[in-house]
Amino acid sequence: MGIKSISNGGLSGGKFTNVAKSQEEPVDPFQMEYLIAAGGGGGGDRRAHPGWGMHNGGAGGGGGLIEGNGVLFQSGVDYAISIGGAGSQGSGSDGSKTNGGNGGDTTVVYKDGTYTAIGGGGGGVGSASYEAGSGTGQNGGSGGGGGTHFQNLPYNSDGGRAGGTGTVGQGNDGGDGGRGGGAQGGAGGSYLYAGANKGGRTSGKPFYLHTGLEITRTLNISNSDEHGLGNSAQGGGTSSNGGGGMVYIIFDSSLTCTIGAGLTGSQETYGDKTHLFLQAGSGNISFS
């Protein structure tokens, strides 16, 4: 009979009332921390109108984020993983400029199903009323910011294109764009916040293992390009690419993880924990 099955009420005295945790059943080594991030959306292209200033497209939305702690895998079984790529920036010549592209989904098959982090929505193009792109921010993990509308109105008036819708539990909505002279696109949404209307950037979630990195943040609506960092799930600023997705898993160092062909990743051990960082591609992982 194990110590855990002995009832204190069935013993005389208090000899067994303070059993140390080390004497109880050990924690399952397959209990893991995980963070699954999709690719961030690209920002919509910008266009200058002589005498009316630059009309900047909306920022891309941050990639969807799933995180938690649990038993995902079993020993000796292959589990498929695919890392979402970055959304591309809007592009084209005047009159044919486009919205930014959505980021790619990141998927992780586990023992009870599949986790799918949704790629961030692309930002709407600037001066949408004159371009090929719709200007509407695209839906995604977080929504892309809405683009702008060229119209004879005061500087950056309300009424531009709408921001995209974020996925509940993974991100937030993008902001709406402006219209009139010098109109600014909406900020993309991030995991923590909805994007602001008519410009700005949206703060992301600090990544506790890398000081200063804000995953899923979205970059500025501006005349300068601001691309998302690699494997950050960040939404790109105006005319800029988003950041790619990733999978980060922390597991007991008594286990061995095998990264299969097609996946780019690395592992580092700190004390009794191993950190698995998957950066790109598609393939299988297994534990033993």
Residue 249 main-chain phi, psi, to 5 deg: -130, 130
- Residue 13 has a pLDDT of 35
48 in a domain, yes or no? yes
Measured CA to CA in angstroms, residue 11 lies from 16, 24, 141, 152 at distances of: 8, 18, 56, 86
Note whether residue 262 is domain-resident. no
Task: Tell me if 147 is assigned to some domain.
Answer: yes
Q: Residue 6 has what pLDDT?
A: 26
pLDDT tier at 3, thresholds 50, 70, 90:
very low
Q: What's the mean per-residue pLDDT of the chain?
A: 88
Tokens of 46: 């910008």
Q: Determine, yes or no, domain membership for 29.
A: no
Spatial neighbors of 32 by CB under 8 A, at least 6 apart, are 69, 70, 71, 72, 73, 249, 250, 251, 252
Is residue 281 in some structural domain? yes
Segments forming the whole domain that contains residue 130: 38-67+84-248+269-288
pLDDT-wise least confident of 19-23, 274-278, 282-286:
19-23
Amino acid at 196: A
Q: What is the 3-state secondary structure (H, E, C) of 27-82?
A: CCCCEEEEEEECCCCCCCCCEEECCCEEEECCCCCCCCEEEEEEECCCCCCCEEEE
Class of residue 76 by CB neighbours under 10 A (exposed 0-12, middle 13-18, buried 19+): exposed
Q: Is residue 257 part of a domain?
A: no
pLDDT at residue number 25: 53
Has residue 138 been placed in a domain?
A: yes
Residue 260, domain member (yes or no): no
Report the distance separating Cα 7 and Cα 72, nearest Å: 33
**Mean pLDDT to the nearest integer, 219-238:** 91
The domain total for the chain is: 1
**What would the pLDDT profile of 168-188 be if each residue is shown by its tens digit?**
999 999 999 998 888 899 999
Residue scoring higher pLDDT (159 or 85) = 85
Decide if pLDDT at 9 tops 70. Answer: no
Q: What's the mean pLDDT in 237-261?
A: 96
Over residues 97-143, the pLDDT tens digits come to 999 999 999 999 999 999 999 999 999 999 877 888 899 999 999 99
pLDDT of residue 211: 63
pLDDT digits (tens, 9 = 90+) for 34-81: 999 999 999 999 988 888 888 899 999 999 999 999 999 999 999 999
Quick one: pLDDT at residue 16? 32
